[in-house]
Amino acid sequence: MALPVGLLFLAVVFSTSVLSGVFGMAGGLILLGFLLAWLPAATAIAVHGVIQLTANGSRAWLSRHFIEWRIVAMIACGVLIAAGLLALVRYSPSETVVLIVLGLMPVMVWIPKRWFHFDVSRPGHAVLCGLVSGGLTIAVGVSGPTIDLGFIRTHLDRRTVVATKATIQVIAHSLKILFYWQAALAMDSGEWGWVALAIPFAFVGTRTGNLVLSRLTDAGFRYWTRWIVTVVGAYYLIRGLMGLWA
């Protein structure tokens, strides 16, 4: 990786980790888009998994007192089922499909909450949430707002939501890395050197975002989450449709 690209990569990792630390998502969407412009889809998803595992792991640790472990355990069951099904069909990602799915994800943040009756405090709903969000995390790299569907009718505050989601994402990203380990081996040691260097940037960015989150109101949290993921999603949808047209 050339020096300018490597430095840009570190800057993107830091800034997207800040975003994820504040909103629990959005950062992962932006980081994956950057990686898709540099690497093949499967390799990009694997590298994304390594960085996001660090970011989510540190976010979960910093907010560990707010984690709802019962919900984590139930959703993890759904994630494992999704991973097993994708492995069974020998799924392989396409960059165009990944971009289009990423672009469509933000639509869900605008759907009226009354349309959904999911509550991750109920075992069946939690497993279904894990199946959908975990499947998307492995298939296209991120789950975006899909995981939020299970939290719509809960009464958890923003810190508990972010902490619980981060813990779930640690599990999903770990499985994602295992799923694409062969693609990850295609990268040379120099490229992995930049990835290793990015890990502390992800931690510092997450720490910074966590400080911002503590100063954000629940209303502000939901408002800015909706608009940020919508703008990012629109960009990816256009990019994916251009690739499909080409």
Lowest-confidence pick of 45-49, 196-200, 210-214: 210-214
User: Can you tell me the mean pLDDT for 194-210?
Assistant: 86
Please, which pLDDT band fits residue 24 given cuts at 50, 70 and 90?
A: low
Q: So what's the pLDDT on residue 120?
A: 85
Q: Are 59 and 166 in contact (CB under 8 A)?
A: yes
Would you give the end-to-end CA distance of the chain in angstroms? 27
Q: Is the pLDDT of residue 167 over 80?
A: yes
Residue with tokens 């889809």: 41
Q: Give the residue-averaged pLDDT of 110-129.
A: 80
pLDDT grade for 122, boundaries at 50, 70 and 90: confident
Task: Determine the average pLDDT of the residues in 119-139.
Answer: 89
Return d(Cα 224, Cα 151) in angstroms, integer: 17
pTM over 0.75: yes
